Every structure is written in C-alpha cells, then in structure tokens.
Amino acid sequence: MSFSNLVSDIALRDAHPDDRSSQISHARSQVTARSYTSTTATSVSISGDISSQLHAGYSHPLSRSWQAERQLTKEMLIFPLFITDNPNEETPIPSLPNQYRRGLNRLVPFLAPLVQKGLRSVILFGVPLHPSAKDALGTAADDPAGPVIQAIRLLRSRFPKLYIVADVCLCEYTSHGHCGILREDGTLDNAQSVDRVSDVALAYATAGAHCVAPSDMNDGRVRAIKLKLIEAGLAHRVLLMSYSAKFSGCLYGPFRDAAGSCPSFGDRKCYQLPPGGRGLARRAIQRDVAEGADIIMVKPASSYLDIIRDARELAKDMPVAAYQVSGEYAMIHAAAKAGVFDLKAMAFESTEGILRAGAGIVVSYFVPEFLDWLS
Ligand SMILES: NCc1[nH]cc(CCC(=O)O)c1CC(=O)O
Ligand SMILES: [Zn+2]
Ligand SMILES: [Zn+2]
C-alpha cells in the first residue's frame, strides 16, 4: 500500500483542527506496522496494530491532561522573595526580569493581590544593602531586627494562610560571600559553619517560619538543625527542607546579583556538587534523608531532571522539591524575548518536565504568572 493511499485512508475529518499535522506521522506509523505484519510468516496478529494506536489517548485537551501523572497546581508553587534592610526599597533586578528587591514596607502591598489569586508559599532571602552589615561570621543573618526575621513576623501576622519558608545560608551576610565560616586558608570550617547555620535556622524557626531550608551545603547541617529544633520544642511544627542536591555551575548568576552574594574570591566548587556528580547527589540525598530532612530539594532543575528522578526514588516517602533557579528563569525570558518561543508555553513546558521527573513542589520565579495562568 502506498503512503498517499494510507494518508487518505485516515479519517482526517475526525481530527481536531490543531491535530492535522500529526496525521502524517500517524500514517507513517501505520506503514511500519503494516509492512511488519505482512512480511512475517506467522499469522497476522492484530495486536501489533492495536498497540501502535496512541493518538486517541490525547486527541482532546482534556484527554491530554489525563496523560500527566501530575498536573501543576498553585499548591505546588513556592515564590522566592528578596528582602532588603531598606524598608522602602523597591528596585528591579536587571538580570532577573520582573523580579525586585523589596523592603519590609513594600511586601504587604505587593503580596496582597498575589495571595488573593492563590499564592500559598514564599521563600525568603535576606539582602543586606549596607556593607557594614556583613562580617566574617555572617552575624546579620539572625539579627532580630534584620529583614528576614522581620519579614517572617510581618507575613505571619498579615497573611495567616501563607506558608513561610526561610532560606538558610550565610553567603548573603558574610564579608567574603561564602556559605559558611572560613579557616585562615580560605577553606570552609565545616564544624563552625554547621553550628552557625543551625543557629540561624533556629532563629528563623523561633520567629515563626513554617519551614527552614538550608542551602549552604555544609556537611551535617540537616542533623544539626533538626537537633536544635527538637531541643527548642519546635520540631513538631517546623519543616526542614534540605537543598540536598545543589549543584555548582553558571545558573545562579542573576540570584547573586539580586542578593549581592557573589564570593569575593574563589568559587563554591568545594561545597556545591560538581554537575557530573550523580553519585554524589544520590549520596547527599540519602544522607539528608537519614539526618532527618522532611523534604528533599534538587537545584537547579532543568539540567538535573535525572537527579530529581533519583530523589523521587531514593526518598520514596517524602515530597521532592525542585528549584528552577535564576539562570533558568533568565534564559527562558531571554529566549522568549529573542522570539525563540512563547514565554508562557515554555514556562509550562519546563515546569511539566520538572513534575514528570518526580518533583511535587517547584520553587519558581514564574509564580505570579502561574497564578494568573492557572486561574
Ligand atoms: N546559598 C544561597 C542560595 N540559595 C539559593 C540560591 C540560588 C537561587 C537562584 O539562583 O535562583 C543561592 C545562591 C548560591 O548558592 O550561590
Ligand atoms: Zn550560600
Ligand atoms: Zn551555636
């Protein structure tokens, strides 16, 4: 049977208008199936033809939606916020389109309409603008008058249903910009760093954060934080989301612009994971599960979908989160601006990939848009 006969054989009249082009590939798959059965010596089995028919399963927008194991919902989304120590600040971040650094006085007016639209959760990053706020120990990180602790209190009281996650790290507060306390030779002092990071986490939990999320990558911080939460009587209501598999690479640039957290020397390659290190990521995930994490996070997301799947399998009984980081967001914006694709379509496609890999929680700078798109 010729290819053109087959094409006319197909009921094009039943196709949805947007599905006409796929009829051609449909015809090709029938060619393959039929020529296979006709050249076999055994009796023609119809099962080959039946199993080759996939299009019926997704020929309608609703049936297409049934094909996903998970659909994106507003409950899955966590929105990152950059909070400065200058109460009236509202400054756009050039490398992060539509994102701003905001002071305390700007938070409630900004968030109120988003909460109205269904915003469920935010993750807070402190951005001390005054250089004097930074020192070798990151003292400002748990300053009770600092932006994060003040924001936790404010948001808890003004938006009682909003779930508050506090990112826990020292790099925004250290004079050298590294994620811990350094030895004289410039390497991280792990024991001191873990003690300091866990104190900061405890301060955020005490201030009312529903969740503390250590992003520092010091060894053993999950256990140290969990123990301090237990000791303080907070372990039953403060969730610990670990940035377990956090890879070093080029995708955090816009964030470091936003947070002013670029290391003043060196890089983070000795504590964040090497991009090829799948085995290390698996060990880090298993380690954090054993140390008492409640949620495992993988970061960045799109270049690490296999790691998200690993996390899904290694931490079977726990939620898995993925952080679509600043560089991923900036790339999508830049490509959309250059006409490569439609921004909304790509925001959905990238997020669907993250969910398909196994995440059930997505930290994303697209949250305000998703709240509109999902309404
Ligand atoms: N440790 C701080 C921290 N927490 C989250 C991010 C990155 C988030 C993003 O790029 O959107 C970073 C930056 C870094 O590790 O340099
Ligand atoms: Zn850090
Ligand atoms: Zn301490």
Q: How far are the Cα atoms of 166, 174, 199, 201, 231 from residue 206, in angstroms, in the given order?
A: 11, 22, 10, 9, 12
Q: pLDDT higher for 4 or 223?
A: 223
32 & 124 share domain:
no
- pLDDT at residue 48, as a whole number: 60
* Residue of the CA atom closest to atom 14 of ligand 1: 252
Q: Alpha helices of 184-315 — where are they, by DSSP H?
A: 190-207, 221-231, 253-259, 278-291, 305-314
Q: Answer whether residue 171 is part of any domain.
A: yes
- pLDDT at residue 42, as a whole number: 53
Residues forming a β-bridge with 82: 101, 125
Q: What is the DSSP letter of 132?
A: G
- pLDDT at residue 185, as a whole number: 93
169 labeled binding residue: yes
Q: What is the DSSP letter of 3?
A: H
For residue 111, give the amino acid letter: L
* Domain with 248 in it: 76-373
Closest atom of ligand 1 to CA, residue 329? 11
Q: Alpha helices of the chain — where are they, by DSSP H?
A: 3-9, 22-39, 46-51, 61-66, 104-116, 147-158, 190-207, 221-231, 253-259, 278-291, 305-314, 326-337, 343-357, 367-373
10 & 82 share domain:
no
38 labeled binding residue: no
268 labeled binding residue: yes
Compute the radius of gyration of the chain from its Cα atoms.
Answer: 25
* Residue of the CA atom closest to atom 5 of ligand 1: 215
CB 179 within 8 A of CB 217: yes
Average pLDDT over residues 182-192: 95
- pLDDT at residue 187, as a whole number: 93
- pLDDT at residue 208, as a whole number: 98
130 & 2 share domain:
no
Q: For this structure, is 246 an active site residue?
A: yes
29 & 150 share domain:
no
93 & 27 share domain:
no
26 & 128 share domain:
no
CATH of the domain at 88: 3.20.20.70
Q: Answer whether residue 291 is part of any domain.
A: yes
Q: Answer whether residue 162 is part of any domain.
A: yes
Q: Answer whether residue 358 is part of any domain.
A: yes
* 97 pLDDT above the threshold of 90: yes
The owner of tokens 């799947």 is 309
* Ligand located closest to 202 CA: 3
* 5 pLDDT above the threshold of 70: no
Closest atom of ligand 1 to CA, residue 326? 11
Closest atom of ligand 1 to CA, residue 252? 10
34 & 87 share domain:
no
- pLDDT at residue 260, as a whole number: 84
Out of 134, 246, 269, 316, pick the active-site residue: 246
In angstroms, the CA 277 to CA 258 distance is 28
Q: Answer whether residue 69 is part of any domain.
A: no
170 & 309 share domain:
yes
For residue 211, give the amino acid letter: C
18 & 149 share domain:
no
CB 116 within 8 A of CB 162: no
Residue 42, token pair as written in the block: 């055994």
* Ligand located closest to 252 CA: 1
Q: For this structure, is 299 an active site residue?
A: yes
Residues forming a β-bridge with 101: 82, 91
* 46 pLDDT above the threshold of 60: no
pLDDT band per the 50, 70, 90 thresholds, residue 291: very high
CB 202 within 8 A of CB 225: yes
25 & 83 share domain:
no
- pLDDT at residue 168, as a whole number: 98
* Residue of the CA atom closest to atom 7 of ligand 1: 252
* 214 pLDDT above the threshold of 50: yes
Average pLDDT over residues 199-209: 98
Residues 6+ apart with CB under 8 A from 309: 357, 358
Best mutation site among 79, 169, 170, 188 for ligand 1, i.e. most ligand atoms within 8 A of its Cβ?
169
Q: Answer whether residue 52 is part of any domain.
A: no
In angstroms, the CA 248 to CA 263 distance is 13
Q: Give phi and psi for 177, each to the nearest 5.
A: 80, 5
Residue 177, token pair as written in the block: 């910009």
Q: Answer whether residue 66 is part of any domain.
A: no
Q: Are strands 163-168 and 100-102 parallel, antiparallel or unpaired?
A: unpaired
Closest atom of ligand 1 to CA, residue 248? 15
- Nearest Cα to 102, choosing from 235, 258, 226? 258
**Poorest-pLDDT segment among 18-32, 75-89, 312-326:** 18-32
Q: How far is the CA of 356 from the centre of ligand 1 (A)?
A: 24
* Pocket lining for ligand 1, CB < 6 angstroms: 167, 169, 171, 179, 215, 252, 255-256, 261, 325-326
Q: How far is the CA of 215 from the centre of ligand 2 (A)?
A: 6
* Domains identified in the chain, total number: 2
* 27 pLDDT above the threshold of 80: no
The proportion of the chain whose per-residue pLDDT surpasses 70, expressed as a percent, equals: 87
24 & 96 share domain:
no
Q: How far is the CA of 84 from the centre of ligand 3 (A)?
A: 25
155 & 105 share domain:
yes
171 labeled binding residue: yes
Q: Give phi and psi for 328, each to the nearest 5.
A: -65, -45
Q: pLDDT higher for 27 or 240?
A: 240
* Ligand located closest to 262 CA: 1
